[in-house]
Structure 1
Amino acid sequence: MSRLPDQLFWSGKRVFLTGHTGFKGTWARIWLSRLGAEVTGYALSPPTMPSLHGLAGSTGLTAETIADIRDGPTLTKALGACDPDIILHMAAQPLVRRSYLEPVDTFDVNVMGTVRLLEAARSLDALKAILVVTTDKVYSNDESGRHFVERDRLGGHDPYSGSKAASEIATATYRDSFFRLKGVHVATARGGNVLGGGDFSEDRLVPDIVRAAIAGEILDIRNPLATRPWQHVLDCLNGYFLFCEALYSGAVSAESLNFGPSPDEAQIPVGLLASSVQAAMGLGRTWRDTSAEDKPREMHALSLDPAEANRCLSWRARLTQAEAIDWAARWYDQWRRDENALSLVVGQIDAFTKGF
């Protein structure tokens, strides 16, 4: 089973977390604060109602700035006030289908937002580590079904994927041009498709299932045979936190790492995931296949090899894909039955860290 974050390490560490109002960002700030970190958040207001950020309130935050990651002066001021030991950059335009509708904005946020952050961070004194979160979709995907490793060629068949691949290059450039000389360790993290309670984003599978269930509607599935490296948000964040620890201490030379389920696990297609979530929520199958309809291109097969993260960090997914699906479904089912969202998050963090 994977190592867990070191509470002694995180206690008192100043962490500048971008994207703290998002789904993963909210889980991250709550867990980091329980580890003893002082978390400063920087992000836009959440785009959905409800949002996990809204349901959790300010829990886990020492301070926050609600602003655009591309706003250089505001970003510089917030970073200076925090004077972070570690930057965890998660702010992004994260949706593939929206990237087709707003390609320029997607590239601007994901590339120039990252550049603005890295530029502003150059003047910080206490900073020791920067982890830029990208995606499993940064690889040039030939649809072969093989498990991508960190040395594979980057690419992007859609604006979201391309923008994240470009942000990888921008991060590497800043690392080699500026931060290496200062002794600041900079890397990127490529996480698989993340599941977990509190994601209310538009055009994402599990939130779409929940919305359809609450509304009593049939869910349209665009590509039910597509496979993705599904993982629970806590497994993904565990990898990010362990990577930050290793970067801070200089204990790892890796400049990018994959975080995803074991390649030995059977891949779970989208349709089966949808049926599993609905079953775990006590629902019958209420989705239909719309794959024959005209729609923007999405990759059919995607898989990561996280062996390097295992070697460097002793990280591996603690939850199987089936368990990740069940944990996410149970969160939503309890929430729709009026359980407190923050209590559900804290309960799953505690269960995860205590071995279930």
Structure 2
Amino acid sequence: MKTLVTGGAGFIGSHLVDRLLADGGRVTVLDNFDPFYPEAIKRANLADAARSPRFRLVEADIRDAEAVDRVARETAPDAIVHLAAMAGVRPSIERPAVYADVNVVGTVRLMEAACRVEPRPRFVYASSSSVYGDRDTAPFRESDPVDDPVSPYAASKKACELMAHAFQHLHGLPVTGLRFFTAYGPRNRPDLAIAKFADLIERGRPVPMFGDGSTRRDYTYVGDIVDGIVAAIENCRGCHLYNLGNSSPIALRDMIAAIGEAVGKEPIVERHPEQPGDVRQTYADVSRAEAELGYRPRTTFAEGLRRYVEWRRAAT
């Protein structure tokens, strides 16, 4: 199978690339190495993949229609997995126009290019649990209304879902959206809480805890996420949306304590007010993904943290 992966140098993307290559596929990565976090980290993520003769890297921006169209025509992929995006709720509040441009316009450019490839490739794209907004009821189901985004990032991801539906309806493009729930694990983005907190705890520095520590996140190990993506590629037809989570939310205060246990140091907690754009909880109902994709997350939070800390120490 030939697969085009956008954002393939990133955290989730690089794990997917490694998996596709291990399965015998040919993989083209399209990435612009955006400076949201250091390029050197992303280059290192692709170090193993770059040794394969079945791997190709194309450096380009997903908003560049000519470049995107060229790589799609040259690659003629069986599947496009679109993971490239401006990520993060809090940064999107500061740069809403950039998030709308990259996430929405970039996604449309890719779907336009996909529609010019024959036969039509399967199009699997990353959405986010953030589309569910701030709600009391849980777990979150794909059939729930998602009309109240509380950040530009969430709004941009919801817009991508709407665009995907339109392209499937108008052009017959097979599209599958995956709502990721707080991925973590080796190669974790340095801006994400688990990476930041592990670094602070290991250095004996205070860990900022926003609010009273009761907010909950459905932390999902990256290997389980990749299993879900691969299953979505294999089953992509029509227009579908799936939650990819762990269905086991962890409170912020418990997450901090668990990281402390994993690194072997007592966390020093520093209290801060709640931040704009934060939601009280994320909690995935994965019954649809289980029934239709065979998705079953297997990695406990404690085991995932152990693997992350092991990787972190080996990488430094």
* 2:250 equivalent to 1:268: yes
Select 1:232's aligned residue among 221, 227, 235: 221
Q: Given that residues 184 and 194 in structure 2 are in contact (C-alpha distance below 8 angstroms), is that contact kept between their aligned partners in structure 1?
A: yes
* 2:142 equivalent to 1:150: yes
Flag the 1:87–1:57 CA change in 2: closer, same or farther, 3 A.
closer
Flag the 1:59–1:79 CA change in 2: closer, same or farther, 3 A.
farther
Q: Given that residues 22 and 46 in structure 1 are in contact (C-alpha distance below 8 angstroms), is that contact kept between their aligned partners in structure 2?
A: no
Deviation at 1:315, TM superposition (A): 1.2
Deviation at 1:213, TM superposition (A): 4.1
Show the counterpart of 1:26.
14
1:276-326 deviation per Cα after TM superposition (whole angstroms, max 9, x unaligned): 11221122213322136xx32310112110000111122110112332233
* 2:302 equivalent to 1:310: no
TM-score, normalisation: structure 1: 0.82
Flag the 1:58–1:324 CA change in 2: closer, same or farther, 3 A.
closer
Flag the 1:278–1:332 CA change in 2: closer, same or farther, 3 A.
farther
Flag the 1:53–1:297 CA change in 2: closer, same or farther, 3 A.
closer
Show the counterpart of 1:342.
none
**Letter matched to residue 233 of structure 1:** V
* Higher fraction of strand: 2
Show the counterpart of 2:179.
190
Q: Given that residues 70 and 112 in structure 1 are in contact (C-alpha distance below 8 angstroms), is that contact kept between their aligned partners in structure 2?
A: yes
Looking at structure 1, the residues matched to 59 and 260 of structure 2 have their Cα atoms a distance apart, in angstroms, of 35
Q: Which runs of 5+ in 2 are unaligned?
A: none
Deviation at 1:211, TM superposition (A): 3.3
Show the counterpart of 2:169.
176
Q: Given that residues 193 and 229 in structure 1 are in contact (C-alpha distance below 8 angstroms), is that contact kept between their aligned partners in structure 2?
A: yes
Query: SS at 2:38's partner residue?
Result: coil
Deviation at 1:271, TM superposition (A): 2.0
TM-score, normalisation: structure 2: 0.91
Question: Which aligned pairs between 1:244-323 and structure 2 lie closer than 5 A?
Answer: 244-247=233-236, 250=237, 255-262=240-247, 265=248, 267-291=249-273, 295-323=275-303
Looking at structure 2, the residues matched to 187 and 230 of structure 1 have their Cα atoms a distance apart, in angstroms, of 22
Percent identity, aligned pairs only, is 24
Range with greater deviation from structure 2 (185-194 or 318-327): 318-327
1:297-356 deviation per Cα after TM superposition (whole angstroms, max 9, x unaligned): 3101121100001111221101123322332233223333xxxxxxxxxxxxxxxxxxxx
Report how many aligned residue pairs link the two structures: 309
Question: Which aligned pairs between 1:216-227 and structure 2 lie closer than 5 A?
Answer: 216-223=204-211, 224-227=213-216
* 2:277 equivalent to 1:335: no
Looking at structure 1, the residues matched to 92 and 106 of structure 2 have their Cα atoms a distance apart, in angstroms, of 15
Deviation at 1:19, TM superposition (A): 0.5
Looking at structure 1, the residues matched to 251 and 310 of structure 2 have their Cα atoms a distance apart, in angstroms, of 20
Q: Which runs of 5+ in 1 are unaligned?
A: 1-12, 337-356
* 2:26 equivalent to 1:38: yes
Select 1:120's aligned residue among 113, 124, 128: 113
**Letter matched to residue 69 of structure 2:** T
Looking at structure 2, the residues matched to 291 and 329 of structure 1 have their Cα atoms a distance apart, in angstroms, of 28
Range with greater deviation from structure 2 (320-329 or 64-73): 320-329
Looking at structure 2, the residues matched to 210 and 35 of structure 1 have their Cα atoms a distance apart, in angstroms, of 32
Looking at structure 2, the residues matched to 225 and 24 of structure 1 have their Cα atoms a distance apart, in angstroms, of 27
Query: SS at 2:205's partner residue?
Result: coil
Q: Given that residues 179 and 243 in structure 2 are in contact (C-alpha distance below 8 angstroms), is that contact kept between their aligned partners in structure 1?
A: yes
Query: SS at 2:72's partner residue?
Result: helix
Show the counterpart of 1:340.
none
Cα RMSD for the two superposed structures: 1.9
Looking at structure 2, the residues matched to 140 and 198 of structure 1 have their Cα atoms a distance apart, in angstroms, of 27
